[in-house]
Amino acid sequence: MTGATGIIADRQFRDRMCGIAVGKVLFDEPMSAHTSMGVGGRADALIFPDTVDMLGELVSFLLKEGVPFLPVGNCTNLIVKDGGYRGVLISLEALQGLEIKKKGEGAVEGRDGVGVCVHAQAGVSFSGLVDFSVRESLAGMEFCAGIPGSVGGGVKMNAGAWGREMKDVVASISILDAVGRMRNISRRDLVFEYRNLDLPDGAIITGADFHLARGDRGAIRERISEIAAVRRERHPLAYRSAGSVFKNSPGCPAGKMIEEAGLKGLRVGGAEISEKHGNFIVNRGGAKAADVTVLIDTIRKRILDERGILLEPELQIIGNEP
């Protein structure tokens, strides 16, 4: 049986793939050009479906061909190892639909039955969603100000800050399941956990409805400005990163444990545990994925040795060693 690399390198396979409407296709693509950390080896193919229908066609095609694939959202919170990814990575960043849903359009509103329902496709960035809520004078998304990434990945990881999480504003989600069927799942049937949404194996989030409330635009903008100011003060925004590296443990934030272990400022190659915030690893220039993963392993071992706590990564690490 031909491996994924051989299949994708085969001209006939490429012709068949390009013969269906799947959006932009990049073969043998360096993921360092796409990840927020700026590291990563080459993917056999990186594909950007323009619509949900194209995504469905692509997934059905890859399943039929037996080619491994993985959705990667907008490539934030992602580390691709230096050996690259053998298969197809699917970026959802072209799925940019964003609108207020009218009653009768299938919107599932909040548990109190009031408010405004906003639908955002998976590729919409949190910054775009926050800006939209300001323009429309909608309250509820302020906590997302400054969170990197997009709706699909953010909902899947139940992203949050300032005591709020996706579970508090999601009214329903749309998914493409493992056999290529579109499904809508209401909030009451979603199982959110800390930094995770439990979904069926192989499901891809294509969009979400958010239950927001009419509010005062000035007050909403002011709260967003306050949150953004705190983030600028606390987070190392001058360098490329993948956001928070580890999930917080009960009773003590990961960044505080890393700081108390004396690990801030530790460098491997071009990667550094940020001097500004211990739960960030930044690319100081020329970092490799291996530099980042060495620092991750170093942190986990030190905290386990000193505190008996095994930190769980918040970011996703995929691919092969060189």
Q: Cβ contacts of residue 177 below 8 Å, gap of 6+?
A: 183, 200, 202, 203
Assess whether 111 carries a catalytic annotation: no
Cβ atoms of 72 and 115 closer than 8 Å = no
Domain residues for 255?
A: 238-318
Tell me: the pLDDT tens digits for 259-290? 999 999 999 999 999 999 999 999 999 999 99
Q: What is the pLDDT of residue 109?
A: 44
Query: Which of 75, 91, 107 is the last residue before a domain boundary?
Result: 91
Clarify whether residues 221 and 256 are in a common domain: no
Token reading at 158: 């139940």
Clarify whether residues 70 and 112 are in a common domain: no
Distance (Å, rounded) from C-alpha 75 to C-alpha 316? 10
Q: Which residues pair with 29 in a beta bridge?
A: 43
Give the CA dihedral 108, 113, 116, 119, nearest 10 degrees: -10
Assess whether 195 carries a catalytic annotation: yes
Clarify whether residues 109 and 163 are in a common domain: yes
**Residue in 195, 241, 272, 274 annotated catalytic:** 195
Whether residue 113 has pLDDT greater than 70: no
Clarify whether residues 154 and 110 are in a common domain: yes
Rg (CA), the chain: 20
Total count of domains within the chain: 3
Distance (Å, rounded) from C-alpha 70 to C-alpha 204? 9
Query: Which of 214, 233, 252 is the last residue before a domain boundary?
Result: 233
Structure-model confidence comparison of residues 238 and 16, the more confident one: 238
Cβ atoms of 47 and 26 closer than 8 Å = yes
Which pLDDT band holds residue 174 (cuts at 50, 70, 90)?
very high
Clarify whether residues 157 and 192 are in a common domain: yes
Cβ atoms of 141 and 133 closer than 8 Å = yes
Which CATH number fits the domain that encloses residue 65? 3.30.43.10
Assess whether 186 carries a catalytic annotation: no
Which pLDDT band holds residue 6 (cuts at 50, 70, 90)?
low
Q: What is the pLDDT of residue 16?
A: 80
Q: Which residues pair with 27 in a beta bridge?
A: 45
**Buried/exposed 54-92: b ≥16 CB within 10 Å, e otherwise:** bbbbbbebbeeeebebebbbbbbbbbbbbebbbbbbbbb
**Residue in 125, 150, 244, 274 annotated catalytic:** 244
Token reading at 255: 């960044």
Strand-strand pairing, 170-176 and 204-214: antiparallel
Please count the other Cβ atoms lying within 10 Å of the Cβ belonging to residue 208.
28
Which pLDDT band holds residue 179 (cuts at 50, 70, 90)?
confident
Query: Which of 51, 73, 91 is the last residue before a domain boundary?
Result: 91
Clarify whether residues 300 and 256 are in a common domain: yes
Tell me: the pLDDT tens digits for 69-110? 999 988 999 999 999 999 999 999 999 999 998 754 544 444
Which of these ranges, 186-195, 211-220, 230-239, has the smallest mean pLDDT? 230-239
Cβ atoms of 86 and 4 closer than 8 Å = yes
Which pLDDT band holds residue 5 (cuts at 50, 70, 90)?
low
Clarify whether residues 48 and 108 are in a common domain: no
Q: What is the pLDDT of residue 115?
A: 83
Q: Stretch 177-201: mean pLDDT, rounded?
A: 93
Cβ atoms of 187 and 243 closer than 8 Å = no
**Buried/exposed 30-53: b ≥16 CB within 10 Å, e otherwise:** bbbebbbbbbbbbbbbbbbbeebe
Could you tell me the sign of the dihedral formed by the alpha carbons of 105, 106, 109, 112, in that order?
positive
